[in-house]
Chain A
C-alpha cells in the first residue's frame, strides 16, 4: 500500500485526495444525536458562522488518509502530524488534500521524510496547513 520509497527526492508529491463534504458526513462524524455548530443550521447561525462547520478533526482524518497511502505501515509507528485549521469547511465544499516532501533526513538505514501538507477548497483557499513526517525504509 505504501508508495514512498527511499529513492524519492525532495519535491515528491503525496497522493492527493479529493473529498466532497456533506452535512450528512458531518452529522455522522458527530454521531447524529448531537445538535451543535457542526451539525445544525440554527445553532450555527446563533454562534455566528454562516453554516454548520466541519469538525477540524474530520479534515485532520482526511490528511491522515493521504499520509497512510503514502507512508503505509510506518505512518502508524512514528508518524507525526501537526496541522493548523485556517478556515471553515462548510457543507457542499469540495476540498483537495495535498502534500509535498520538503526534506529528507537520514535516520539509520531509513530516511525521515518531512512534508508540507495543506487542504484547499473549491475557491483555492487554504483551509488547513501543516506538516507531516514519517520514516521511509
Chain B
C-alpha cells in the first residue's frame, strides 16, 4: 500500500481515539509497476500476479491492500514512534484483477487495554469499482501515549511520504 501523509495531521493518542470514527476514504488504482516492486521485494514468483491467474488476468497481490488501515490513518493522524503493529487479521473474500480501481473504507473498530498499554483496532474493507468485496483487514496497533507525546515533542514523528499510485482523499 503506498502510504502518503495527509496535510495538517494530528497526533494519534489512544486516550483520544473514539470507537466508530470513520477514517478518510481511499481510492486507488494499482499498476504493474507498483505491484512489480512488491513482488521483487518479496521474491514472489507466482505468475498469477504478473502473467495470468486462474481468473484470467493477473490479480493484485493482497500486500498492496492489507495495510490499508494505516494508509487511511496517515491521512488524518501523524504516525509516530510508539506505534507498534502487533496483530493482523485478514479475510480474503475475492481475487481482484490488477488495474481495477478500489475503494477502501476504514474505521476505528475497537479499543482495548493489554499489559497496561492501549491497543486500537483499525478495520478496513476493500471494495472494487464494481462493488465486489475484495478483502477485509483488522490491524491491531499498540499506542503508548506517553512515548508518542515525548517523541512528538522531540520532532520524532516518522511520516512516510511516498506514492506513485493514484489516490484521492475524499
CB pair B59–A76 under 8 Å, yes or no, is yes
Pick from A7-15, A61-69, A110-118, A119-127 the stretch touching chain B: A61-69
- Max chain B CB contacts within 10 Å: which of A30, A31, A33, A75? A31
* Interface pair B93/A78, CB less than 8 Å apart: yes
A51 → chain B closest CB, angstroms = 16
B123 part of interface (Cβ distance < 8 Å): no
Chain B positions within 8 Å of A25 at CB level: 41-43
Please tell me which stretch of B7-15, B18-26, B105-113, B155-163 contacts chain A, meaning at least 4 of its Cβ atoms lie within 8 angstroms of it.
Answer: B155-163
Asked whether B89 lies within 8 Å of A81 as measured between CB atoms, the reply is yes
Which of B46, B67, B86, B95 touches A57 (beta carbons < 8 Å)? B67
Question: In chain B, residues 14-68, which have Cβ atoms closer than 8 Å to a Cβ of chain A?
Answer: 37-38, 40-44, 46, 48, 54, 59, 61-63, 66-67
Judging by beta carbons under 8 Å apart, are B46 and A68 in contact?
yes
**Chain A contacts of B117 at CB under 8 A?**
none
CB-CB under 8 A for A30 and B160, given A58-B42, A61-B44, A77-B94? yes
Give the docked Cα–Cα distance between A77 and B133 (Å).
11
Q: How far is the CA of A37 from the CA of B85 in the complex (A)?
A: 13
A57–B71 Cα distance when bound, in Å, is 13
CB–CB B41/A65 < 8 A: no
B167 at the interface (CB under 8 A from A): no
> How far apart sit A47 and B87, CA to CA, in the bound complex (Å)?
20
How many residues of chain A have a CB within 8 Å of chain B? Answer: 40
- Are A60 and B90 in touch, CB under 8 angstroms? yes
**In the complex, are the beta carbons of A77 and B88 less than 8 A apart?**
no
Within the assembled complex, what's the spacing in Å between the Cα atoms of A31 and B74? 16
State in angstroms the CA–CA spacing of A72 and B38 once bound together. Answer: 20
**A34 CB–B CB distance under 8 Å:** yes
Query: Are the CB atoms of A83 and B93 closer together than 8 Å?
Result: no
Q: Give chain B residues whose Cβ lies under 8 Å from the Cβ of A46.
A: 156
State whether B156 touches A80 (Cβ < 8 A). no
Given contacts A28-B41, A61-B61, contact A37 B158 (CB under 8 A): yes
Chain B neighbourhood of A76, CB < 8 A? 59, 92, 94-95
- In the complex, are the beta carbons of B95 and A85 less than 8 A apart? no
Q: For window 24-38 of chain A, which residues contact chain B by CB distance below 8 Å?
A: 25-26, 28-37
B54 touches A73 (CB 8 A): yes
**Quick check: is A79 within 8 A (CB to CB) of the other chain?**
yes
Report the minimal beta-carbon distance from A62 to chain B, rounded to whole angstroms: 7
Interface residues of A in 41-100 (CB under 8 A from B): 43, 46-47, 55-58, 60-62, 64-65, 68, 72-73, 75-85
What would 9 A/B residue contacts be, using CB atoms closer than 8 Å?
A28-B40, A56-B88, A57-B66, A57-B85, A60-B63, A65-B42, A77-B93, A82-B88, A84-B87
The chain B residues found within 8 Å of chain A, CB to CB, are 2-3, 37-38, 40-44, 46, 48, 54, 59, 61-63, 66-67, 81, 85-95, 156, 158, 160-162, 164
